[in-house]
Structure formats: structure tokens, C-alpha cells
């Protein structure tokens, strides 16, 4: 999935916000060109300015030196205060990090608050569709304080959708939730992704979330965009600009090729070979996205048939990079079992994170052929 | 038990306190909103002015009000020019003095309630296409309700309890400025202790009931993080 923004489509703009007082250690300085469809993940370490960027786009953070056009509609133009729409006139939906339902209204009244002020009339069918999509139909009579954090956040997302926005902004909507609630809410976000026509900007510092949700990715560090591009391509680079440590890994687009009911396994083929996965109910032919973490790959000179590890791929060393940790190295690997049809550039790469000592012992260099043993593969979508 | 004059004083006190409370809620709410939201450098001086009656002896406030509203004071000249005469020793003079005297008791609870809300709810409302005016009526005010109730109760009770200011600018005119506290003073001066007892006991009962109501209100709402100590 690759989106090419064209003029009049997508989100274009720039923001320059000088650092102020003790708050921001750096200036926000970004040039935006974001696809007009799909989920764009804004990813970076805590305090890199991603939330500030989102607030600038929403108009919650006044930014005099900024411009913004969303799908051909100007929201703000540089140096002209009058041309900057106030927040309440921008056709956007915003989901905050903390669940932020109005405490004096019930869940249903919170939704009504939005419905009354929607950009266009919300029909009863649309209302039902949105509440069903978020799975909150039975919660509407409750007061916010009686709902769990995850439920509150689902109501807040439904509320943002009822405004009929042209752009949905989500500021780490899962950050305030515990692991269980996150898992509970992620499937709703995926459904949202599939059923919404409008662009979504999703701010997160979790690789797991962006790997699962984002089509396009903006990487930010110290107030600047350091890289952008399709999520799968960007997350698969060994020289990933934001240090991920244990979270580094590649994202592969794959298809279920066969089902092995005897061992409850699935075989998925990607453009560099095929992998065995635990059978989690996918059907043959389904497109999936899998994530292989760099720390889950070990390398052997010979194929180890005696190993408990099922997934072994012949690979060739393409690049060796130092890791942030002086004991570790990152090795970019090109799978060798690629079908003849896949051209060299299209073959998905793998990244292994191994100790510097192992690199020395195996005397790895560029071009060495090896076996990559993959300890675990996670379906993210 | 209570003489006709006592009942007249109670009725007058009630009228005064009700008028002052209503006016204070109308005038104090915008002031509290401004104080809660502003980043202006005059916030400090304005807050101090509003709080001044908390520390000033009522006689000081009463004295300056008397001069200010009197025939040669700026307000006195203004009201005379309007053909209203001067305000000291009238009901409306008492209303004006009480407005100033009870102002902090109304402004501060409302200001605290609005400050406790933080920016979040107003920001959420803006992203839901609510204009600032819409947000004020449908988000800020309803969320500040416990604070406004506290403010109303405190403003009312404090006006009922004032004595020094009334004596300074209102004197002792039956049906016009003779409120309960002054009536008790008169009874004591005339050695009518039984009468003084009845009225004083009624004031104690009233004050206790008001404070009880206040604590019940706050206890019910305390889960929302709003507390106002007196």
C-alpha cells in the first residue's frame, strides 16, 4: 500500500514553533505532505514534538508561522492570522490521550453533544453504525466514571466520529490504558481504519501500535521529521533513524498459503520466502502483516536440522551496522529462497540483532551466506 | 417571642441577602471566569482587590463607602445627577456595600471550580465544534455547578451576617436598613435580653443549617476534586 499525495489531495503544510521557555527543549520545525487517505502514524520518542504537531494541526496550539491545507481546503495560511480557522471551525475529530468525556454528561449525552454540532446531519442509521463499530451501544446510559478507561476511550472515539470530521487526529489514544485494555481497543481501531474514508493521523511512541495500524509513517525526533514513507518499508530499515533497541524489527506483508491442520500451523508466503505461524484462524489467501523482531533472529553457518526452531531461511549478509549498545550489531539480511519472480529490490529484508562477539566468531562480512533462525513471528494484522 | 419589628428585620435581611446573592452571581461569574483564564499582569492586583474585604475591618470599608457614596463623593454626585439622591442610609446603599463586602465569597469558589476544570474540557468542546460561548454555557458552567452553589450559599450567609458595614452606612432605619444583626444590637442596648436571645438563637440555627448544607454539597461533589475550605 503506497499513497502518493497529489496536489489538492492529502495534507500539506508547515509549522514553525520556536522553543518557548523551559517547556520545549527544541523548536518544532516540520514540512508536511501526508496522504489524504489511510492511517499516517506519527512516531518518535517521548518529547519529540509529535503531540505538539498534532495540536498545531488541530489549532489547539496557536502557531503563527504555519500553514495547513487538508484535501484542498485551507485551514491556515502563513503570516495571516485572519486566515487561521479557530479550532471549532476546523472539520476535524480529535481523540485525546486521556479519556476526556464530559463528566457532567452520560456516555450517550456525550455523543449527543457531538451529534448536535456535527458538520452535517447524522442520520439514525449512521449513529447506530458508529456506536456498533465501537461496541458501545450498551454503555450509552452510563456515566463516564462508571466506565473503564478502554470503554471511555471508545465512547470518545465514537464522539469524535459523530462530528463527521474530514480528518481524524488521535493523540496516543492507548497510552493511558493498561496492556489488557490496549488489546481490547486495538481491534476497534483496525475496524475504524478499514471503514473510514477520511485520513487519520495517529500519534504514538509504540512500535507495536504503528506496526499494526499505520500505512504511512512520519518519524520525528527533536521537533523535526527525520524520515517518512510507507510503514512496511520504513520499519524494515536497519538504519532506522529513531533508536528502537529491543523493539527493532521488520514488518512483512504476507499471504496465507496453506493450512496444516495436523500441527495447527499456517504457512505464510512473503516476497522473500515463507514462514510457519501458529494457526490463529486466518483463511488461506488472507493478507496479513507480520512482524519479525531483530532480537528473535539468530544466525548459523550450517542449517541446523536438529533445532526446535521451525523457521529457517537461507540468507545473505547485506549490511552490518553498529547498534546503540556497544555489545550488539545489526545485520541486514537478504533472503535467498526468494521466488524468481521477485526482483532484487522488492525482496523484503530481515534484520538480526546479535552480539559483536558472534559477528567476530562467525567472521561475518557483506556477502556471507547463512541460515537465519527465526524464533517467533507475530501476526500484527 | 418575636416582635413585629423583629419580623420586619428578618424580612429585610432576607430581601437584602437574596438581592445581593443574585446580583453577585450575575456579576461575579464573568469576573471569576476572567480571573481563572487570564494570563494578564493585572490578574494579581485584581485578585487582591477582590479579596480585600476578607481582611479589612468592616468599619474601614464602611467609612470609605460612606464618603464615596455621600453627597460630595464621586458616586454620590453621580447618583444625585441622576436624580436618585444619595445612597447611604437606603436599602440600595446597603445592597451596593454588601456587593463589595461579599464579593470574595462568591468569586473565589467559582474561580476555583473553573480553575480545577483545567483546559482539557474546553479544548475537547472546541474540537467538537462548540464555539467559546457555546462551551461556556454547556461545558464550563455545568461543570462549575458545585462551585456556583457554594458561592451562592456563602454569599447569602455572609450578607446575612454583616454588621459593621451596615452600621457605618445604613444606620438604623426600620424597614429600610435595620437588619437582624442591628436589631439584636438594639435589643441588647435596650437591655431586652429575651428578645436578643430569640433573634440570636435563630441566627445560630440559620448559620448552622447553611454550613451543614455547604458541607453536604461539597461532600457529594468531592469525588470530582473540588473542595472549598472556608
Nearest partner of A51 among A24, A90, A13, judged by Cα: A24
Please write the tens of the pLDDT for every residue from A214-263. 889 998 888 889 888 888 878 776 566 556 667 788 888 888 999 888 98
Residue A43: enclosing H or E segment and its boundaries?
Answer: strand A39-43
Instruction: Enter the ipTM.
Output: 0.76
Total residue count of chain A as it appears in this document: 381
**pLDDT above 50 for A5:** no
Burial letters B49-81, b for 16+ CB under 10 A, else e = ebeebeeeebeebbeebbebbbeebebbeebee
How far is the alpha carbon of A220 from chain B, nearest alpha carbon, in Å? 24
Q: Is A168 a residue whose pLDDT tops 60?
A: yes
SS3 A358: helix
DSSP A343: -
Q: Which residue of A has its CA nearest to B122?
A: A102
| Percent of chain B whose predicted confidence (pLDDT) is above 90 | 57
pLDDT surpasses 50 at A370: yes
In a domain, B64, yes or no: yes
Residue A76's DSSP bridge partners are A68
Share the mean pLDDT of chain A: 85
For residue A67, pLDDT beyond 60:
yes
The A residues from 149 to 188 touching B (CB cutoff 8 Å) are 159-160, 163
Which chain A residue is nearest to residue B126, measuring alpha carbons?
A88
Whether residue A71 contacts residue A8, with contact meaning beta carbons closer than 8 Å, is answered with yes
Which is it for strands A200-204 and A216-221: parallel, antiparallel or unpaired? unpaired
Q: What is the pLDDT of residue A4?
A: 41
Search chain B and give the residue with CA nearest A162: B128
* Cβ distance of A117 and B127 shorter than 8 Å: no
Contact A60 B126 (CB under 8 A): yes
**Chain B CB contacts of A104 below 8 Å:** 142-143, 145
Strands A328-335 and A350-355: antiparallel
Rounded to a whole number of angstroms, the distance from the CA of A240 to the nearest CA of chain B is: 34
Residue B228 falls inside a structural domain = no
On whether any CB of chain B is under 8 Å from the CB of A145, the answer is: yes
- What pLDDT is recorded for position A241? 55
pLDDT for A17 beyond 70: yes
Chain A, nearest residue to B120 by Cα: A100
At B32, which CATH number? 1.10.3720.10
| Four-CA torsion B191, B193, B196, B202, nearest 10 degrees | 180
User: B119: nearest CA in chain A?
Assistant: A60
The per-residue pLDDT for B130 is 94
pLDDT tens per residue, range A22-39: 556 678 899 999 988 889
A369-374 β-sheet, strand order: A297-300, A369-374, A311-322, A328-335, A350-355
Which CATH number applies to A249-379? Answer: 2.40.50.100
pLDDT in tens, A249-288: 888 888 899 988 898 999 998 888 889 988 888 888 888 8
CA gap A328, A323 in Å, rounded: 6
**A89 and B CB contact within 8 Å:** yes
Over the stretch A332-367, which tens digit does the pLDDT of each residue have? 888 886 555 555 666 788 889 999 999 999 999 998
Mean pLDDT of A45-66: 88
Domain boundaries defined on chain A: 11-243, 249-379
Cβ atoms of B111 and B36 closer than 8 Å = yes
Q: A11-243, which class in CATH?
A: alpha beta
> Chain A contacts of B142, Cβ < 8 Å?
104
> Which residue in B120, B128, B132 is closest to A159 by CB distance?
B128
Q: Which of A60, A92, A159 sits opposite B123 (nearest CB)?
A: A60
Q: Which residue segment(s) compose the domain that B196 sits in?
A: 4-222
Q: Over A240-264, what HEC string results?
A: CCCCCHHHCEEEEEEEEEEEECCCC
Q: What residues in B contact A86, CB-CB < 8 Å?
A: 126
A374 Cβ contact list (under 8 Å, min separation 6): A275, A292, A296, A297, A309, A311, A312, A313, A350
Q: What is the arithmetic mean of pLDDT over A86-99?
A: 91
* CB-defined contacts A:B, below 8 A: 57
- Set of cell numbers at residue A201: 493521523
Arithmetic mean of pLDDT over chain B: 88
Cα–Cα nearest to B75, from B53, B89, B52, B96: B96
What are the residues facing A290 on neighbouring strands? A252, A379
pLDDT for residue A3: 38
Whether residue B145 and residue A104 make contact (CB cut-off 8 A), yes or no, is yes
Summarised one tens digit per residue, pLDDT across range A116-158 is 999 889 899 989 988 988 889 999 999 999 998 889 999 999 9
Instruction: Say whether residue A104 is in contact with chain B using an 8 A CB cutoff.
Output: yes
Q: In chain A, what percentage of residues exceed pLDDT 90? A: 30
Q: Look at residue A229 in the predicted model and tell me its pLDDT.
A: 87
Q: Is the pLDDT at A41 greater than 60, yes or no?
A: yes
Name the least confident of A181-185, A298-302, B105-109.
A181-185
Q: How does strand A92-95 pair with strand A167-171?
A: parallel
Looking at the structure of chain B, the number of domains it has is 1
Amino acid at each position: 500500500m503506497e499513497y502518493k499525495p497529489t496536489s489538492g489531495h492529502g495534507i500539506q503544510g508547515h509549522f514553525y514553533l520556536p522553543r518557548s521557555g523551559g517547556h520545549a527543549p527544541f523548536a518544532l520545525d516540520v514540512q508536511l505532505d501526508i496522504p489524504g487517505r489511510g492511517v499516517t502514524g506519527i512516531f518518535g520518542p517521548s518529547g519529540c514534538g509529535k503531540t505538539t504537531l498534532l495540536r498545531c494541526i488541530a489549532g489547539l496550539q496557536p502557531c503563527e508561522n504555519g500553514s495547513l491545507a487538508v484535501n484542498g481546503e485551507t485551514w491556515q495560511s502563513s503570516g495571516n492570522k485572519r486566515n487561521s480557522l479557530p479550532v471549532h471551525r476546523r472539520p476535524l475529530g480529535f481523540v485525546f490521550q486521556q479519556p476526556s468525556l464530559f463528566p457532567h454528561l452520560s456516555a450517550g449525552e456525550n455523543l449527543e453533544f457531538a451529534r448536535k454540532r456535527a458538520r452535517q446531519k447524522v442520520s439514525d442509521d449512521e449513529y447506530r453504525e458508529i456506536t456498533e463499530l465501537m461496541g458501545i451501544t450498551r454503555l450509552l446510559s452510563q456515566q463516564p466514571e462508571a466506565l473503564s478507561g478502554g470503554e471511555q476511550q471508545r465512547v470518545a472515539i465514537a464522539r469524535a466520529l459523530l462530528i463527521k470530521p474530514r480528518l481524524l487526529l488521535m493523540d496516543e489514544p492507548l497510552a493511558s490504558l493498561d496492556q489488557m485494555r490496549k488489546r481490547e481497543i486495538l481491534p476497534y481501531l483496525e475496524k475504524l481504519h478499514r471503514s473510514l474514508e477520511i485520513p487519520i493521523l495517529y500519534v504514538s511512541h509504540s512500535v507495536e501500535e504503528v506496526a499494526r495500524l499505520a500505512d504511512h509513517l512520519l518519524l520525528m525526533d527533536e521537533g523535526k521529521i527525520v524520515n517518512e514513507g510507507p510503514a512496511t518499508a520504513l520499519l524494515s530499515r536497519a538504519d532506522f533513524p529513531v533508536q528502537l533497541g529491543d523493539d527493532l524489527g521488520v514488518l512483512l506483508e504476507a499471504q496465507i498459503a496453506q493450512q496444516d491442520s495436523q500441527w495447527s500451523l499456517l504457512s505464510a508466503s512473503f516476497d522473500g520466502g515463507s514462514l510457519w505461524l501458529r494457526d490463529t484462524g486466518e483463511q488461506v489467501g488472507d493478507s496479513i502483516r507480520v512482524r519479525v523482531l531483530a532480537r528473535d533472529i539468530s544466525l548459523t553457518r550450517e542449517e541446523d536440522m536438529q533445532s526446535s526452531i521451525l523457521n529457517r531461511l537461507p540468507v545473505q549478509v547485506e549490511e552490518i551496522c553498529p547498534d546503540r549498545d556497544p555489545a550488539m550489531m545489526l545485520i541486514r539480511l537478504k533472503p535467498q529462497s526468494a521466488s524468481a519472480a521477485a526482483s532484487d529490490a522488492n525482496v523484503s529484508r530481515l534484520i538480526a540483532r546479535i552480539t559483536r562477539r558472534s559477528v567476530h566468531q562467525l567472521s561475518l562480512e557483506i556477502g556471507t551466506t547463512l541460515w537465519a533462525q527465526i524464533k517467533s513471528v507475530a501476526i500484527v494484522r | 417571642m418575636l416582635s413585629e419589628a423583629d419580623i420586619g428585620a428578618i424580612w429585610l435581611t432576607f430581601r437584602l441577602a437574596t438581592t445581593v446573592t443574585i446580583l453577585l452571581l450575575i456579576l461575579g461569574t464573568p469576573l471569576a471566569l476572567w480571573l481563572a483564564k487570564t494570563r494578564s499582569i493585572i490578574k494579581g492586583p485584581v485578585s487582591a482587590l477582590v479579596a480585600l474585604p476578607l481582611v479589612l475591618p468592616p468599619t474601614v470599608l464602611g467609612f470609605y463607602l460612606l464618603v464615596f457614596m455621600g453627597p460630595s463623593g464621586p458616586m454620590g454626585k453621580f447618583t444625585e445627577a441622576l436624580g436618585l439622591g444619595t445612597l447611604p442610609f437606603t436599602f440600595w446603599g446597603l445592597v451596593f456595600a454588601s456587593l463589595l463586602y461579599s464579593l470574595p465569597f462568591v468569586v473565589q469558589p467559582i474561580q476555583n471550580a473553573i480553575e480545577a476544570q483545567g483546559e482539557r474540557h474546553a479544548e475537547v468542546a472546541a474540537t467538537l465544534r462548540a464555539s467559546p460561548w457555546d462551551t461556556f454555557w454547556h461545558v464550563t458552567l455545568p461543570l462549575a455547578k458545585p462551585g456556583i452553589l457554594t458561592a451562592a450559599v456563602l454569599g447569602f450567609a455572609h450578607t446575612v451576617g454583616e454588621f459593621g458595614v451596615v452600621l457605618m452606612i445604613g444606620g438604623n432605619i426600620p424597614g429600610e436598613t435595620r437588619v437582624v444583626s442591628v436589631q439584636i444590637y438594639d435589643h441588647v442596648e435596650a437591655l431586652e435580653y429575651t428578645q436578643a436571645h430569640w433573634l440570636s438563637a435563630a441566627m445560630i440555627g440559620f448559620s448552622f443549617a447553611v454550613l451543614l448544607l455547604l458541607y453536604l454539597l461539597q461532600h457529594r461533589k468531592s469525588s470530582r476534586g473540588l473542595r472549598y475550605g472556608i
